[in-house]
Structure 1
């Protein structure tokens, strides 16, 4: 009996030690909600429109949460603790042509630095730290696009907005990292999409299709609608209905971004009503500066995964 009590006490001490040292990973950190994307075909399948399919959440610049700066790995990971999501991010070039993440052309709003990002080398940028949306200084440095791509592998999908990086340079970096299965490209015209397809026929796109003319431009160009999502604008409005019909017939999911519109509403209740209106309107992707809040608001829609269930997981 004494021997058994000794063993039980020893096991308890070992378990407590493991918890305190973080050696039991399930307790040391919460699992991430991930997208199980391994090939370009998986990515195309994730974004293929299906009737009664799930609404996908896109974190605009990763998200805006106190203590977590936009366009940072820490923010991406924080969002994935709460919901599966993909992320719209903003590559820019340093003075010595390193691709880093920064929405603005200047450092002032989001970092402890000042002036144009392009006036600094990557090494010089390392002395600065990122700020959160409220202007609080964090411990996080400005990340390179290469770092973020390698972090995202096996976890999520990155949507690269087009700032000042030449298209060919972006295509070359994706090729270098063999990342066409989980890195997609924002394009503002059919011509930009055609260029990327000339580099890699498997690329996936977030295309600006905000009206009938833009839709017709892509259709005339003969681009693959099954390899794109369509950004149709920031508002729920009657004109969206025609675009939904045309794009859904092509198998293309439609995205409304609340970042410049409904995210600005003052109360959570107002924002929730707006996010639900987006889901009910017919959009199948909701982009937001507040992806955690948005995902919770439209939970009934994000959980209808159906045939796409295998593309979601925990890690």
Structure 2
């Protein structure tokens, strides 16, 4: 009678193979297949049939993974497609590095002002996660992050202390206008960047009707921007949704300073769903993995936009 059971060595080999395949699948990144500035404009174009998009505020804040870190960006992309809001600042010797605060104390093993250190001096410090745990990750330069992001995701550069001209020049140097966008706090900033490159894409502060009127008066291309309308779901949003969506502009609500602070996952999930139901096209969060899971029924919506999502 033939043995109906697998040879233990064969079984062990099959299990190992299965674990390897599973591990390989988990290590794949969710990527955005955006190759040109025109693709980027199309990705952010409001059509009325769009999946809600997730953006990681400073990349995300998960235990063991510090904000504004390549390791954190990669960890987020293992779980969900996303783009990332990040914070370039200048060192003493004018190297652009990622750091939200003007000082090192909260997020690194260093102390004092970032601008008091050269980039070479910063190399000795390591980043801390949101709980203050020291990691092995160094402070990255913006150039390093741009080259890492190429073919994977989109970077949204906030405006801290880097002059607009330097930021525009770095994007031009890296030929990165297909996947690097710019946060602008006013129509004047947007107009300046457009004078440097008419193909730039923007995340613009449009939190009320006055700010909307400023952009409209400036004659900026609304089809090359998303609109940050604030951190809360509120009745006043409806007017902004209507005006901006009509121009093809997606609207973003950021939960980073509001709903991400709720105490329980259940409370946060309800808030993230409320953002999606309210009509926002983009959800920004310090917890992008959790937020993406909460709104996955909206994120996985059948849409022509799905052509921009892939794995690698």
Equivalent residues of 1:205, 1:227 under 8 A apart: yes
Question: Which residue, out of 54, 65, 69, partners 1:68?
Answer: 65
Unaligned runs of 5+ residues in structure 1 are: 1-8
In the TM superposition, what is the alpha-carbon distance from 1:52 to its structure 2 partner?
Answer: 2.9
Q: Deviations over 1:9-64 (max 9, x none)?
A: 89x97996x999x8x89738621000000000110011000113110001000001
SS at match of 2:27: coil
SS at match of 1:279: helix
Q: Say yes or no: does 1:259 pair with 2:256.
A: yes
Q: Could you state the TM-score of these two structures normalised by the residue count of structure 1? A: 0.93
Q: Deviations over 1:148-199 (max 9, x none)?
A: 0000000000000000000000000000000000000000000000000000
Equivalent residues of 2:55, 2:82 under 8 A apart: yes
Counterpart residue number, 1:213: 210
Provide runs of 4+ in structure 1 moved above 4 Å: 12-16
Backbone CA RMSD of aligned residues: 2.0
SS at match of 1:308: helix
SS at match of 2:253: strand
Unaligned runs of 5+ residues in structure 2 are: 1-8
Report the CA distance shift for 1:271/1:109 in structure 2 as closer, same or farther (over 3 A): same
Counterpart residue number, 1:113: 110
- 1:115-194 equivalences under 5 Å are 115-194=112-191
Report the CA distance shift for 1:134/1:26 in structure 2 as closer, same or farther (over 3 A): closer
In the TM superposition, what is the alpha-carbon distance from 1:71 to its structure 2 partner?
Answer: 0.1
Report the CA distance shift for 1:214/1:294 in structure 2 as closer, same or farther (over 3 A): same
Q: Deviations over 1:135-155 (max 9, x none)?
A: 000000000000000000000
Q: Say yes or no: does 1:88 pair with 2:85.
A: yes
Q: Say yes or no: does 1:283 pair with 2:274.
A: no
Give the number of equivalent residue pairs. 305
SS at match of 1:184: strand
Counterpart Cα distance in 2 of 1:222 and 1:298:
34
Counterpart Cα distance in 2 of 1:281 and 1:307:
22
Counterpart residue number, 1:248: 245
Counterpart Cα distance in 2 of 1:29 and 1:133:
24
Counterpart residue number, 2:269: 272
Counterpart residue number, 2:230: 233
Counterpart Cα distance in 1 of 2:306 and 2:104:
40
**Which stretch shows the higher mean deviation, 301-310 or 244-253?**
301-310
In the TM superposition, what is the alpha-carbon distance from 1:224 to its structure 2 partner?
Answer: 0.1
SS at match of 1:88: strand
SS at match of 2:226: strand
SS at match of 2:215: helix
Counterpart residue number, 2:220: 223
Counterpart residue number, 1:103: 100
Counterpart Cα distance in 2 of 1:276 and 1:303:
14
Equivalent residues of 1:225, 1:250 under 8 A apart: yes
